[in-house]
Amino acid sequence: MEIQDNTVVSMHYTLKNNAGDTLDSSEGREPLTYLQGAGNIIPGLESALKGKKAGESLDVTVEPAEAYGEHREDLLQQVPRDAFGEVKDLSIGMRFQAQTERGPVPIKIAAVEGDKVTVDANHELAGETLHFSVNIETVREATKEEIEHGHVH
Ligand code: ZN
């Protein structure tokens, strides 16, 4: 059966960046299972998988706009060091959850200068061109309940 909206796809994948570093892989784990057409995976990968069948393998390159978006300078913000309370050793790359009006947002420290800390709320993979190698294991029709919920059960 072909991958179309409202099918449940199970696949193994390896994700690399432009430099060829492996960022993520389902190797040695259960395959990734998702509901096609429900925005469960990034748009560029979802559209590349459309029409493919179980047993097929494909390599897909996804530009940032169809993945996790471009890196946005307006998501960088300077905050006082006091905002981190008792955390003593703030260093570049440390990750925190920022409490915002829209709920918790993962942030990363981008710079520390004196009493000023620059935090970055971009997605970890924002601005990255992603290279997926995918092996499609199974494709089945989604149940009515899965379609209603927008995810696989
Ligand atoms: Zn559900």
Return per-residue pLDDT of the chain as tens, 153 residues: 999 999 999 999 999 999 999 999 999 999 999 999 999 999 999 999 999 999 999 999 999 999 999 999 999 999 999 988 888 889 999 999 988 888 888 999 999 999 999 999 999 899 999 999 999 999 999 999 999 999 999
Place of tokens 């000023």: 116
Distance, CA 138 to ligand 1 centroid (Å)? 20
List, in sequence order, every residue forming a beta bridge with 105; answer none if it has no partner.
98
CA distance linking residue 34 with residue 132, whole number of Å: 16
Residue of 46, 52, 13 lying closest to 30 (CA atoms): 13
Taking the centre of ligand 1 as the mean of its atom positions, its distance from the CA of residue 80, in whole angstroms, is: 41
13 alpha carbon to ligand 1 midpoint, in Å? 24
Rounded to the nearest angstrom, the distance between the alpha carbon of 40 and the centre of ligand 1 is 13
Q: Count of CB atoms within 10 A of residue 122's CB?
A: 20
pLDDT score for 86: 83
Residue 105's pLDDT is 87
CB 129 within 8 A of CB 16: no
CA of 144 to the centre of ligand 1 (A): 10
How many whole angstroms from 2 Cα to the centroid of ligand 1? Answer: 23
